[in-house]
Structure 1
Amino acid sequence: MDAMADVLGSYRTGSAFLGTVVLRCPWGIGVDPQRDSALHVVLAGHCWLRLAGRDEPVRLSPGDVVLVASGIGHALSDPPDASIVPIRAALSAAPYQQAVSAPDTTTLLCAKYQLDEAAPHPMVSLMPPLIHLTAQQVEANEPLRLALQLLRVEAEGRRSGADLIASRLLDSALVLLLRAWMDTQPAGAADWFGALSDPSIARILRLIHEQPQDAWTVAALADRALLSRATFARRFTQLVGEPPLAYVTRWRMSLAAKALRETGHSIDEIARAVGYESGPAFSKAFSRVFGQSPGRYRNGGS
């Protein structure tokens, strides 16, 4: 299995929002800081993106795609100094629905992607505030280009099963987007993502993800990485951002949290599935990571 897809899948919560909007100049839509990451694709026309705390706007052209990390307020507009209204108001306002062929309109595909940040994964916490790929970069990456085309078709069609399909397509599009972004980064500059470029560490991440229930030790993981224990521990910590066994625990807890959210399995069943011999031992570890018991987490913190 793919480590990046594993992480996104285990930490995503709720259904994905996906839609298109046609906006006529002058227009401006704002997105308040929230838990959701935001994906925007310029389907036609152009606009300006401004992140909270940054003075200079970024010009977006047809075919450009941006991913704004959760917690980052931002605005899209044309012209760059246009008045801003909340995005929900813009999406529901009839005056914004104009003919696509008009020369002064911009068509956007907008999506949100909600991640569980109660105990954020290093990959989630190290994502940059903004990932921007130009139309040329998207066009050069056929899998990403096709995924974005499918998102557009689904957003415009809204046929039966659209919510489920949109969620799955968005999962794929985000993995492909992050991979394409990684390809643009200098060696060693992508933080946690750089671990996926190290064959030994990537192999161990895949092993931990596939077999979380195994009684892993640093020595056992080092053997599978074909590295000495000291070299493995140092390289893993440097690339991943935490020691090997801390990562094992974090991954087990992320899988447990997903099971608590999405299944009716008992706490003892979930404990065994993620490598704990007893419910109390699992509950203690879960509470240490998430700050609340498994039962309380399952009930939404109440």
Structure 2
Amino acid sequence: MADSTDDGRDRLARVLYMLRMRSTFCCQTEVRQPWSMQMPSIADSVSFHVVTSGSMWLKLPDAEAVELRAGDLALVPHGLGHDLLGSSDSPRGPRVDQLEQEYLTPQYSRLRYGGEGRATQLICGIVSFDDPASRELMRALPAFLHIDADTMSAASPVRDLLRLIAGELTAPQAGGGAVATRLADVLVIHAIRAWLSDGQAEVQGWLRALQDPRIGRVLEAIHDDPGRDWDLQRMAKVAAMSRSSFSARFTELAGTTPVGYLTRWRMSIAHSRLLAEDVPVAKLAGELGYGSEAAFTRAFGRIVGRTPGQVRRTAVA
């Protein structure tokens, strides 16, 4: 029989396998000293930056700037705005979306910016996720992930993907931008895997709960059947714990109550389906365990901040 650690890894592996991107944008960038620019905050997204030659600094709000060198990869989850700088003491620059760019496709652009000094070449991008597991995973990631080129093994999938992306963008061929954006999807997933496999990674929140032998079983059961008539007693039975012990343990690990998590998971499913399908709200409510459309709509508005109709109109717009 596999031990509980193996079970937790299997659950995590299944989540990583199911990650789905909603959209990707890539920008091939060349900047010359002196330069600096701001990356705006974009909700429900992960920014990534690959330095293909030269070096730069990345600064998050209220944090020290971090130097990135050729071959390094940085991820900024949570849609956080941040600064890209030519040097650690560079003043803040303009927002990147306000700079003139050459848009080759809606998902791919080229940017040349800065003075006449030393050049740095970057591949910058934004990835958005659309499935519930992806959203939960993004919440559990730290504010900044830095994968240093010097620490990557020669056989690292991240290293291979970085080479492929750089090759597509620095030696343009037909469809190179499309290939690069698809590779960027895979790059972000492999970068997260690399972080999770690092013994120094501080796994917490949802990720820690998912790998817990008892709480992880409950999370997986909810994910497999979100419309079931779940209550605290039924969840505790799956965990083979008393209700009080289960509730305390779940809240400690996941950062929310069991019922709070169930509601958030259901509303995340609903949000994704409203964007992707023309499903009636009453049908969606029934499938997700709500006795009435009104009760579902109230819960949806409380969690998402908009009505189902408003979300659906966003998808059509």
Aligned with 2:46 (options 24, 34, 37)? 37
2:217 paired with 1:203: yes
Please tell me whether residue 66 in structure 1 is matched to residue 70 in structure 2: no
User: How far apart, CA to CA, are the structure 2 residues paired with 1:238 and 1:126?
Assistant: 14
Give the Cα–Cα distance (whole angstroms) in 1 for the partners of residues 82 and 209 of structure 2.
30
Letter in 1 for 2:214: S
Shift of 1:137: 3.7
Given candidates 250, 266, 281, the residue that maps to 1:267 is 281
Change (3 A) 1:70 1:237: closer
Contact 1:44 1:108 in 2 (8 A): yes
Residues 105-254 of structure 1: pairs in structure 2 closer than 5 A:
105-114=119-128, 123-139=137-153, 142-152=156-166, 160=175, 169-184=183-198, 190-254=204-268
Q: Aligned-residue CA RMSD in angstroms? A: 3.7
Name the SS of the counterpart of 1:300 in structure 2: helix
The amino acid that maps onto 1:76 is L
Match of 2:4 in 1: none
Q: Is the 8 A contact 2:129 2:135 kept in 1?
A: no
How far the C-alpha of 1:125 sits from its partner, in A, is 4.3
CA distance in 2, matches of 1:168, 1:148: 12
CA contact (8 A) 2:204 2:253 kept: no
Matched with 2:107 is none
Indicate how the Cα distance of structure 1 residues 149 and 135 shifts in structure 2: closer, same or farther if over 3 A, else same: same
Corresponding residue SS for 2:227? coil
The reply to whether residue 22 of structure 1 matches residue 27 of structure 2 is: no
In the aligned structure 1, how far is the partner of 2:265 from the partner of 2:112? 47
Question: Matches of 2:190 and 2:258 in 1, distance apart?
Answer: 26
Report the counterpart of residue 305 of structure 2 in structure 1.
Answer: 291
> 2 CA distance for matches of 1:58 and 1:243?
36
Runs of 5+ in structure 2 lacking a partner? 1-10, 103-109
SS at match of 1:192: helix
Aligned to 1:48: 57
Aligned length in residues: 289
Mapped contact 1:21–1:91 kept (Cα < 8 A): no
Which stretch has the larger CA shift, 280-289 or 235-244? 280-289
Structure 1: which 5+ residue stretches go unaligned? 98-102
By how many angstroms is 1:71 displaced? 5.0
Shift of 1:40: 0.6
Q: Under a length normalisation based on structure 2, what TM-score does the superposition of the two structures give?
A: 0.74
Runs of 4+ in structure 1 over 6 Å off = none
